[in-house]
Amino acid sequence: MHRLTSEDIAKFHAAVIKRGPDECWGWLCAHDKGGYPLLYPARGRCFRAHRIASYLEHGFAGACTCHTCNNPGCVNPKHLYPGDNKTNATDRDLAGRHGKSKTTHEQTLTIAAMYRDGKSASEISAALGFPRQVVYRICKGKTFGWLTGFEYTRRHLTPEDVLQVVTRYRSGEGVASIASDLGVSHDTIWNICAGRIWRNITGL
Ligand SMILES: [Zn+2]
């Protein structure tokens, strides 16, 4: 990004189709196969323009630049945040699995504030209408940790958690979903459900 000249930045601004502050902003120039906006600088390789938008807003672009709106062509800096490849995949997963999983930065901060006030993820989910898992991930710092200051730590399971795992697995919920919700590995869930660990609790 430091290779950008002031001409490149001017060219960037000229190609942005600005809409309302909370809407997705379009891009007048080329897009790549994935739908990401491209900016061709005066010299050197082309840039993905949403990375420039994020860079100009946040001061750095991160290993990758993620969209909260799941619209790869969008260059509204409010919809962009610097992340790593893992957060990008996580956010995409969530957006794919849940219709209403996209939270704006303001909504994310509201969720974080409610959680700090002592509300549970379920209560926040019911109050704001976001899926519980989306709220849970934010409160645990699995997503948007850079924004909320919440730090994600793998937790140790309690006996109640273990029983919950078995109940949820038997009711047909996927291993990945249970694992990410409880902040443990897929293997842990498999091992519990197969009776390899925690047998004293589950009786399997
Ligand atoms: Zn957008």
Ligand 1 mean position, distance from CA 50 (Å):
10
Q: What is the pLDDT of residues 62-103, one digit of tens each?
A: 677 888 888 889 999 988 877 765 555 555 444 443 334 567
Ligand 1 mean position, distance from CA 111 (Å):
20
Name the burial class of residue 27, with classes exposed (0-12), middle (13-18) and buried (19+) by CB atoms within 10 angstroms of its CB.
buried
Give 197's pLDDT tier (boundaries 50, 70, 90): confident
Residue ranges per domain, the chain?
A: 6-83, 98-148, 159-202
Q: What is the pLDDT of residue 60?
A: 65
Residues with CB under 5 A from ligand 1 (ion): 24, 69, 71, 74, 76, 79
Give, in order, the Cα–Cα distances in Å from 152 to each of 115, 139, 155.
Answer: 14, 9, 9
Give 162's pLDDT tier (boundaries 50, 70, 90): very high
Q: Which of 83-92, 103-112, 131-140, 188-197 has the lowest mean pLDDT?
A: 83-92
Q: What is the mean pLDDT of residues 105-117?
A: 88
Residue that has been written with the tokens 């509201």 in this structure? 110
Ligand 1 mean position, distance from CA 100 (Å):
15
Ligand 1 mean position, distance from CA 39 (Å):
18
Q: What is the mean pLDDT of residues 39-49?
A: 84
Beta-bridge partners for 62: 83
The DSSP H or E segment spanning 140 is none
CA angle 25/109/132 to nearest 5° reads: 95
